[in-house]
Every structure is written in C-alpha cells, then in structure tokens.
C-alpha cells in the first residue's frame, strides 16, 4: 500500500494513537467510513455515465453536465442555499420590473 512496509504502518498507527487517544479512534473510524460511503454515493449519483435526460422548465429534454448535477446536489444538501436562490430570483424580478 503506497510503498509502505509493516514497520512504517505500525509507527504511523502509534503516532495516531498518541495524538488522538484510544477512546477517540472508533469515532474517527466511523466518521471516515461514513464520509467515504457518502463520497461513493455522490459519485454514483453524478457520474457522467448517467444516461437519464431531465426535462427543463419548458418541457424540453436536456443533458445535465457534471457541473450542473453537482450544483443540484449542493442545493439539495446544504441548508439555506435553496432559500438564498429564491430570494435572489425575487430580487432579479423586482429589478426587471423597476427598470
């Protein structure tokens, strides 16, 4: 694994135990495992191999690029982004009405 031998891995493991302590290691492992699982799920959901075509607001079919899919995921997952975009849309429509 990455050209590291058993001795190097044992030394790295010992340093990690000294830094974090034996009680926190299961928490760290659980967090890393869930993060890796989430990254794999996101990778599957936004992979460019996805042949699905989504329908836009006008009813036309369109191919989503990787960037568009990532933006959609961020909008779904991050709290407050969806509300911020709604406020921005309202502000833009008000600007159009005024000008």
- The structural domains of the chain, ordered by start, are 1-45 (1.20.5)
Q: What is the pLDDT of residue 45?
A: 74
Q: What are the residues whose beta carbons fall under 8 Å from the beta carbon of 50, sequence distance 6 or more?
A: 64, 69
Number of C-alpha atoms within 13 angstroms, CB side, residue 14? 6
Q: Over the chain (99 residues), what is each successive 10-residue block's mean pLDDT?
A: 82 88 85 83 68 52 67 74 84 90
- What is the value of pTM for the model shown? 0.39
């Amino acid at each position: 694994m990455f050209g590291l031998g058993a001795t190097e891995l044992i030394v790295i493991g010992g340093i990690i135990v000294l830094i974090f302590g034996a009680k926190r290691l299961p928490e760290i492992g659980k967090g890393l495992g869930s993060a890796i699982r989430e990254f794999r799920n996101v990778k599957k959901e936004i992979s460019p191999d996805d042949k699905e075509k989504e329908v836009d607001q006008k009813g036309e079919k369109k191919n989503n690029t990787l960037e568009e899919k990532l933006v959609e995921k961020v909008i779904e997952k991050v709290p407050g982004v969806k509300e911020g975009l709604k406020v921005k849309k309202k502000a833009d429509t008000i600007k159009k009405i005024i000008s």
